[in-house]
Amino acid sequence: MELSRAVSMDYLREVSIEARRNVMKMITHAQAGHVGGALSCMDILVALYFEVMRVDPARPRWEDRDRFVLSKGHASVALYAVLAERGFFPKRDLMTFDQIGSRLQGHVDMTKTPGVDMSTGSLGHGLSAAAGMALGGKLASKDFRVHALLGDGELQEGQVWEAVMFAAGRRLDNLTAIIDYNKLQLYGAVAEMLPIEPLLMKWQAFGWHTMEVDGHDMAQIIGSLRRAAMEKDRPTVIVAHTVKGKGVSFMERKVEWHAKPPTHKECERALAELREA
Amino acid sequence: MTVGTLAERVRNRAGRDAFGEALQLIGRENDAVVVVGADDISSLRGNAFAAEFPDRAFNVGIAEANASGVAAGLALGGKIPLVLLYGFTVLRAAEQIRDDVCYPNLNVKVVTTSSGLVMGEGGVTHHCTEDLAVTRSLANMTIVQPASALETAIVTKAVVERLKGPTFLRIARCRYEDRAEQALQDYYLGGGAFEVGKAVTLREGDDITLIASGLMLSIALHAADLLAESGVSARVMNMHTIKPLDSAAVIDGVTQTRGIVTLEDHNVLGGIGEAVCGVVSETRPIPVRRIGVRDTYCAIGPMDELFEKYGLTAEATVEAAKEILAGGSRGSR
Ligand SMILES: Cc1ncc(C[n+]2csc(CCOP(=O)(O)OP(=O)(O)O)c2C)c(N)n1
């Protein structure tokens, strides 16, 4: 059953803006959460959940659904905003983010939130679990795809490369990794702290099919995800060039907005900018 | 620097700030001291040290296992590395800490400022109620957990200057509460000494013994106040060194009071309570009650609310103490 709808790029862009607005509101309300890295991966999540992935919000545990692993689990707010927009749970729940007893934890928890396929929060784990899911799909002769989103700083974790080698070794062509390449991590620039370049060559050397896109260009994101699905015998990585804090001018490319909650005033400014966008 | 000056410098500061302050002072006195961080050195307050000694601070990126191995190598080259980790990533680097630091018995200090439930809002992946169980079971490891800003500074200096070998320093990210700050200020400014492996009895008492350290010490002191109101005399012990445990002090509690309550922001499995139980059952069994997280993953929320929810409170401590004294010591809570 094909559940994805053919939707216009304009509509997807509107969804992205609405989800970004909700991210601002959630983080400001909770005075907690990781804003920069949520805004940088938002367009990718919208493309996945509104165009590319086969999902059914009414059946979050549907066996044949495509899977998504948010390996950079601190970007939880982005995923919550998109899942709510897609109808996995009511939007009013968003404002419970990070409260005691809420289903929306600071880092994503699959035992609590409908639509979350894997619990994450400690960096470097997600691709291994995604590879296991993809292998499971093959073993069960299922045709679902698995997507994993990783941070660029996260690539410094050794476990990531164990999973990279494993996925290629097992020819997991039903697996797509997406790198949110926003060039910043928690304490500074990735290139200064521990360079990860040449990035495409690394993945190629490990046997992956590689692509490079503008991570804020919907058409490019969707095109690359579709092409990944046609690749045979090897997994695909999409290196998506993004801007940390994307959409809010005073947050863009600023390392201090990794996890700083905005004041109410700053939130108003951000919402106004997002309204105009 | 006198204890008085040190106390002035760290007054009203969070545990991690006191650590950062001490780290910088030690850095100036001893150029063998180096820092190895894994991206976030600022939340462990290693940034001031890194700014002053850029060629002695190494940020390996988000790679805690590598950080621990690199620290072992630096120690082999005569350096005194402090590895700054999030509490939960001690579990990730556990094998490196065992094989590369503890097994060869190297002079590496592993430091966390986010163990326990202090990152309560981060959710389960960011809670850390297992680190003591893991590190306690590593031979050669010394584990120290200070309970005030001043004690943090004193302990940090002491373990770097005087203790050679693998050490785990478990420091609080937040402020310690006033009760503990005051009690330890009185103790250290009154000439009290910090000795690794030597518990400090902050309050004498002969009915019940309360054993705690770190953030739980103030809760124990509060419980002692509440118990005093109902005529129960509670001894309060600051068990700043969790390993090696001060068995003699525990045995004093066994022979001089009628029961023991332990407090920890950790799973009761593998933590301070079990360490105490080990000593008690090998000497003369008396009732012990353990306040701590009872083998569960905690909800998300601010630390104080989680302490309430999971019974890490003065009230629960009082109740446990009273149950022991009433003889209702059987059955587990
Ligand atoms: C194993 C582990 N170490 C440290 C952290 C703390 N931490 C949270 S986010 C972050 C930086 C992540 O950088 P990156 O992967 O580039 O993500 P982004 O910039 O997209 O937010 C760090 C170090 C963590 N969550 N897990």
Q: Ligand 1 mean position to A209 CA, how many Å? A: 25
CB contact under 8 A, B122 and A109: no
Cβ A70 vs Cβ A17: under 8 Å:
no
Question: What's the distance, Cα to Cα, between the start and end of chain B in Å?
Answer: 46
Q: How many residues are there in chain A?
A: 277
Ligand 1 neighbours (beta carbon < 6 A): A 34, 36-37, 40, 72, 74, 122-124, 151-154, 180, 182, 184-186, 244; B 39-40, 62, 86, 89, 92
- Is the Cα torsion angle B307, A124, B132, B175 positive or negative in sign? negative
Kindly state whether B329 is in contact with chain A, defined as any CB-CB distance less than 8 angstroms: no
Instruction: Say how far apart CA A118 and CA A102 lie, in whole Å.
Output: 17
Read off the DSSP letter of residue A173: T
SS3 B266: strand
Q: What is the number of structural domains in chain A?
A: 1
The domain locations on chain B are 3-170, 197-325
Residue A181 gets the label, from left (phi > 0), alpha (psi -120 to 50) or beta, of beta
* CATH 3.40.50.720 correct for B3-170: no
Chain B closest CA to A104's CA: distance in Å? 9
For residue A57, with 0-12 CB atoms within 10 Å meaning exposed, 13-18 middle and 19 or more buried, which class applies?
middle
Q: What is the pLDDT of residue A7?
A: 59
Query: Is residue A50 included in any domain, yes or no?
Result: yes
Kindly state whether B126 is in contact with chain A, defined as any CB-CB distance less than 8 angstroms: yes
Query: Is residue A1 included in any domain, yes or no?
Result: no
CATH of B197-325, one of 2.60.120.10, 3.20.20.70, 3.40.50.1380, 3.40.50.920: 3.40.50.920
For residue A152, give the chain B residue with the closest CA: B62
Virtual CA dihedral for B176, B177, B179, B185, nearest 10 degrees? 30
Helical axes B272-282 vs B247-256, angle rounded to 10°: 70
Q: What is the pLDDT of residues A96-131, one digit of tens each?
A: 999 888 999 999 999 999 999 999 999 999 999 999
Enter the ipTM.
0.84
Strands (E), chain A: 67-70, 146-151, 175-181, 209-214, 236-241
Strand partners for A210: A237
Domain residues for A88?
9-275
CB contact under 8 A, B124 and A119: yes
Using CA atoms, how far residue B40 sits from A72, B15, B117, B172, in Å, is 15, 17, 19, 16
- The DSSP annotation for B309-332 comes to HTT-SHHHHHHHHHHHHTT---S-
Query: Can you count the helices (H) and strands (E) in chain B?
Result: 14, 12
Using the CB atoms, write b or e for A221-246: b if 16+ within 10 Å: bbebbeebeeeeebbbbbbbbbbbbb
Chain A closest CA to B244's CA: distance in Å? 30
CATH number of the domain to which A142 belongs: 3.40.50.970
Query: Is residue A258 included in any domain, yes or no?
Result: yes
Read off the DSSP letter of residue B262: E
Mind listing the pLDDT tens digit of every residue in chain A (277 residues)? 344 445 589 999 999 999 999 999 999 999 999 999 999 999 999 999 999 999 999 999 999 999 999 999 999 999 999 999 999 999 999 999 998 889 999 999 999 999 999 999 999 999 999 999 999 999 999 999 999 999 999 999 999 999 999 999 999 999 999 999 999 999 999 999 999 999 999 999 999 999 999 999 999 999 999 999 999 999 999 999 999 999 999 999 999 999 999 999 999 999 999 988 7
Q: Which of residues 146 through 175 in chain A touch B, CB cutoff 8 A?
A: 153-154, 156-158
Q: Scan for tokens 């970007």, then name that residue.
A: A75
From the alpha carbon of A107, which atom of ligand 1 is closest? Answer: 25
H helices of B30-93, in order, are: 47-52, 64-76, 89-92
Query: Is residue A116 included in any domain, yes or no?
Result: yes
Chain B closest CA to A276's CA: distance in Å? 32
Query: Is residue A29 included in any domain, yes or no?
Result: yes
> Which residues, 6+ apart, have CB-to-CB distance to B307 below 8 Å?
B117, B219, B265, B313
